[in-house]
Amino acid sequence: MKHNLIFGHKTPDTDSVCSAITLANLKNKLNEKSKPYILGKINKETDFVLKYFNVDVPEELDNVKVQIKDLNYDKIIPFKAEQSIHFAYFFMNENKLRTLPIVDDENNLVGIITMKDIAMSLINTDQKNLNTSYDNIIETLLGKEIIRFDELIDGKITVAAFEEKTLRRADVLNNNSIVIVGDRYDIIKYAIEIGVKLIIVTGDLNVPHDLVKMAFQNKVNIIRTPYNTYHTARNIGLSKYVNYTMKSENLMCFKEDDYIDDCKEDIENSKHSKFPIISADKKYLGLLSRGHLINPSKKKVILVDHNELGQSANGIEEAEILEVIDHHKIGDIKTAIPISFRNIPLGSTNTIIYNMYKENNIEIDKNIAGLMLSGIISDTMLLKSPTSTDKDRAAVEELVNIVGINLHEYSMEMFKVGTSLKSKTIEEIIYQDFKKFNLEYKSVGISQVFTMDINEIMNKKSDYIRLIDKITGDKDYYVFIMAVTDIVNEGSYIFYTSTKEKLVSTIFKKEDVYEGIYVDKCVSRKKQIVPSVINAIRTIG
């Protein structure tokens, strides 16, 4: 059963990851099958939170592009390679199929057969030799078993149209012969005497008891068919194994995880009309046709804690956005139809989701409450951020009661783990909480690093500045800002693209700016830095 995909932005922080998990939990309780995902590696703080409340890390999602598995392709029942061409024909005719997949006993795709292949097999293939099963001959000729010694029949077909003495002189029968014969009992007796592989008696004639007894003694297989000799001789070739005429080499097939864009050109340029679909371990799944590429089913997604294309999953334009739940400024996400868009100026997306539980009268489990609480205190810096609202405070108060922890002690432990920069490269630190914005038609990168020890950054200030300048040039940003937020003192040290001193001076309303300038009470990227950047760009262009 397909499910909704719920995920936050590309640089997962505690609020976005916990939002995806808590919302997916709510949706599932409302019978809307959903699954949380992340768009990148989680940070230390989020890892601490998930482990503390014994919740698994969501699966990482590479993109939401349309894949073969998203299409409503045909789930055609496959055919076994040991079955007959005749049975394949009637199966295809009855089910109005032109192409039939062939699999082995483990459901591995081994080939395909088409109506054209069957027709051509009657014209181009060797009709004198037969290698098939006893059962396939019975099925093809509507036969009846008289004597069976061999499950596999392999021999040369002879229509016994001549008298027995003529056959003796011609020496055409041997123990490898498959004899098609009518009421020529002298020939049947002779064939039994020399021990042929199989006798097919046409016209639904009874075989005398003495000949049956002789055949049993000589271990000769006998089948009786209601068809006449002409029909039997013409159709017995259809009893061959289907793999005798199926295509098994250079098959154009696709895996269920393949992306439509990667397959479309091959499909359009192919002379074939049907294409097998297989799993990663080569198990047959179904058949794809060109018609399935028209208006393909899209992945159904719900976005939390973001609503900008640049922050969302790769291929988001190919997905069907069902819902957006966010607390940031409205970005550039567009949809073809109206959707539920819940954007509320609160300190955390989890506060919004907390209220959604309340609206739906859904009880909040202890571990879910812990995730919600962690998302709120992370995004509001324990309610010290200017983004904090009375609704955030009310949510925290109730969630603390559900979880039953000391809020201050837990928060300090969470922040301590989350702000540790040990073993991280400068680039990893810059990108651990980074967002790209399109502000006033200009590309702006803003990184926020939380710390309890500013010296960890200051000791390598020049290295950070060099990398910021390099990223600005490589990514063609108008400006790149890194805010190193001191959780204890409630302010931020600002690093920026070195050529943008005038812009930074305007953003933070400082006459003299320098790399690492301290801005008191500046702790919110969303409510303080982003709006100030917009105003500064409007002011100086």
Sign, Cα dihedral of 303, 305, 308, 313: negative
**Among 127-136, 185-194, 399-408, 453-462, which range has the highest average pLDDT?**
399-408
**Residue-level pLDDT at 162:** 62
Q: Model pTM? A: 0.69
Cα–Cα distance measured from residue 269 to residue 505, given in angstroms and rounded to the nearest whole number: 58
- Residues with Cβ within 8 Å of 238's Cβ and at least 6 positions away in sequence, in order, are 84, 85, 86, 89, 118, 122, 140
* In a domain? residue 98: no
Clarify whether residues 410 and 431 are in a common domain: no
Clarify whether residues 515 and 433 are in a common domain: yes
Clarify whether residues 436 and 533 are in a common domain: yes
- CB of 471 closer than 8 Å to CB of 447: no
Residue 170 pLDDT greater than 80, yes or no: no
Clarify whether residues 447 and 530 are in a common domain: yes
**Residue-level pLDDT at 71:** 86
Provide the domain limits for residue 367.
Answer: 4-66+299-418
**Residue-level pLDDT at 471:** 97
Q: What is the pLDDT of residues 271-304, one digit of tens each?
A: 777 888 999 888 999 888 887 777 788 899 999 9
Clarify whether residues 433 and 414 are in a common domain: no
Last residue of a domain, one of 354, 389, 418: 418
* In a domain? residue 531: yes
Last residue of a domain, one of 201, 224, 244: 244
**Residue-level pLDDT at 422:** 81
Q: What is the pLDDT of residues 118-133, one digit of tens each?
A: 887 776 666 788 999 9
Q: What is the pLDDT of residues 364-405, one digit of tens each?
A: 999 999 999 999 999 998 998 888 999 999 999 999 999 999
Tokens matching residue 295:
């208006």
What is the number of structural domains in the chain?
3
**Residue-level pLDDT at 165:** 64
Question: In 3-state terms, what secondary structure has residue 111?
Answer: strand
Phi-psi category of residue 453: left, alpha or beta, with phi > 0 → left and psi -120 to 50 → alpha: beta
Cα–Cα distance measured from residue 347 to residue 526, given in angstroms and rounded to the nearest whole number: 10
Q: Find the CATH number of the domain harbouring 211.
A: 3.40.1390.20
Residue 169 pLDDT greater than 60, yes or no: no
Q: What is the pLDDT of residues 70-97, one digit of tens each?
A: 888 888 888 888 899 899 888 888 888 8
Q: Find the CATH number of the domain harbouring 456.
A: 3.10.310.20
Average pLDDT over residues 429-438: 90
- CB of 135 closer than 8 Å to CB of 223: no
Query: Which alpha helices (H) appear in 312-404, and where do they start and end?
Result: 349-359, 366-379, 390-403
Q: Find the CATH number of the domain harbouring 371.
A: 3.90.1640.10
* In a domain? residue 85: no
**Residue-level pLDDT at 126:** 65
**Residue-level pLDDT at 316:** 94
* In a domain? residue 119: no
Q: What is the pLDDT of residues 9-47, one digit of tens each?
A: 998 999 999 999 999 999 999 999 999 999 999 999 999
**Residue-level pLDDT at 510:** 93
Clarify whether residues 40 and 138 are in a common domain: no
Mean pLDDT of the chain: 91
Clarify whether residues 403 and 453 are in a common domain: no
Last residue of a domain, one of 418, 453, 477: 418
Q: What is the pLDDT of residues 230-243, one digit of tens each?
A: 999 888 989 999 88
Average pLDDT over residues 518-535: 93
